[in-house]
Amino acid sequence: MTDLDSRLRAWRHDLHRRPEPAFAEHATSAYVAETLEAAGLDVVRGVGGTGVVASLTRGDGDRAIGLRADMDCLPLDEPGTRSHASRNPGFMHACGHDGHMAMLLGAAAVLAAEGGFDGTVRFVFQPAEEPGRGARAMLDDNLLVRFPVQAMYGLHNLPGVPAGHFLTRAGSIMAGEDNFEIRIRGRGGHAARPHMVVDPIVVGAEIVLALQTVVARNVDPALPAVVSCTDFSTDGVRNAIPGEVVIKGDTRSFDPGVGELIEDRIRRLCEGIGAAHGATCAVTYTHEFAPTVNDPACVAAAVEAAVAVAGEERVDPDCAPIMPSEDFGVFAEAVPACFAFLGNGTEPGRGGDPLHSRQYDFNDAVLRTGTDYYVTLARRVLTGDAPSGPATPG
């Protein structure tokens, strides 16, 4: 194991032991900032709350790119069987953000020590990816004005894909997510006298079934979409029909027009069904994650770097899009960008356990692969050998 491999593993394990949730990544961001400062980078803390941005310039080129990693964890208890298990009860790096940070720290260390590019690399460590709030917080803190870039690149591990394989595509790669809450108000009463009530459970059940028709009968079959009811709660008890039901759920789509259609149909169905039963329905619909849409020129650069690192046989340049969402999509709306996946492994216990599960662990075997990808990407984009996207708008 090389010195770099040892440092990558140590960084990843240190970060895994100290998981922190969205906008509370205080120890995490301090660790990241101190590591970057020790490598000789110009570091700014507190961007968008707990975010960190480090800049590294070599030569006299005026181009800049951003490389982004996420920092927050999930509210899960981790089994204490690993030597690097979480020491913060109730919190766990169950999505691999510890590995993402370690790979980007590795790239910063290599590029600071060896150079090999002409321009500026911004290392963007983003808070609050899991709730989809951190990217917007950084942009609202003038990220792209204070640290201008012509393109942004991100990388996320993906269990179920062979370790060290890369996947990406031009266009939509991850879906947008919207949330909804439907509050149905009827008139509660004794379970033995249903004729005296307006039963919101009946109304809610009809709404849940009706929502299954939105994708099946309203959305173009060529456009992917998902509508899921994920929670159904009442204020009733065993022998009393409730007066109120609350249904919660989420929707996924790649096209903003599809999201607007889904919202409109949910509102109309709820209002109509509620009125038919003499109940009232109030719908709250919120936009949580933007779709992640890759710029073709940035994808070309990312694919070239991935092929150089892993070989053509381990790179899929036109993978199928997936329905989960990523806060990186907000960056991709603001600047040309490419988001890619790095296979974490296929076997349970060796990188194949699902994201967001208590069994998950980032596969240390791919840390060097991701680091080499970032280094190669920065050098290729910032030497004129690969496209970096159009100039950042003023």
Roughly how many angstroms between the first and final C-alpha of the chain, as a whole number? 45
Side by side, the strands of the sheet bearing 244-253 are: 225-234, 244-253, 176-185, 280-289
Distance between CA atoms of residues 177 and 253, nearest Å? 7
- 36 and 120 belong to one structural domain: yes
Q: How do strand 166-167 and strand 337-345 relate by DSSP bridges?
A: antiparallel
Evaluate whether residue 392 is within a structural domain.
no
Evaluate whether residue 221 is within a structural domain.
yes
Evaluate whether residue 278 is within a structural domain.
yes
Residue where a domain stops, chosen among 243, 264, 289 = 289
Query: Which two tokens mark 128?
Result: 């609050």
Could you tell me the sign of the dihedral formed by the alpha carbons of 9, 14, 19, 22, in that order?
A: negative
* Catalytic residue flag (residue 72): yes
pTM of the model: 0.92
Range of the domain at 125: 3-174+291-381
- 254 and 377 belong to one structural domain: no
- 305 and 371 belong to one structural domain: yes
- 274 and 216 belong to one structural domain: yes
- 212 and 300 belong to one structural domain: no
Evaluate whether residue 387 is within a structural domain.
no
Residue where a domain stops, chosen among 235, 255, 289 = 289
- 156 and 205 belong to one structural domain: no
Contact 163, 351 (CB under 8 A): yes
* Catalytic residue flag (residue 129): yes
- 235 and 371 belong to one structural domain: no
- 22 and 72 belong to one structural domain: yes
Evaluate whether residue 394 is within a structural domain.
no
Distance between CA atoms of residues 149 and 391, nearest Å? 8
Q: How do strand 119-126 and strand 166-167 relate by DSSP bridges?
A: unpaired
Query: Which two tokens mark 141?
Result: 């803190």
Evaluate whether residue 388 is within a structural domain.
no
What are the E-state strand segments in the chain?
42-47, 51-58, 64-70, 119-126, 151-159, 166-167, 171-174, 176-185, 189-190, 225-234, 240-241, 244-253, 280-289, 292-294, 315-316, 337-345
- 31 and 93 belong to one structural domain: yes
- 360 and 299 belong to one structural domain: yes
Residue where a domain stops, chosen among 289, 315, 349 = 289
Count of other CB atoms within 10 angstroms of residue 61: 14
Annotated catalytic residue, options 129, 130, 295, 372: 129
- CATH no. for residue 198? 3.30.70.360
Averaged pLDDT in 10-residue chunks for the chain of 394 residues: 93 98 98 98 98 97 97 96 95 98 98 97 98 98 98 98 98 97 97 96 98 97 96 94 98 95 98 98 97 98 98 98 97 98 97 97 98 98 58 32
Tell me what pLDDT residue 388 has.
43
- 160 and 280 belong to one structural domain: no
Tell me what pLDDT residue 389 has.
41
Tell me what pLDDT residue 1 has.
64
- CATH no. for residue 74? 3.40.630.10
Annotated catalytic residue, options 25, 72, 304, 327: 72
Helices 3-17/97-114 angle, 10° precision: 140
Domain count, the chain: 2
CA dihedral 192, 194, 197, 202 (to 10 degrees): 120
Tell me what pLDDT residue 2 has.
86
- 154 and 19 belong to one structural domain: yes
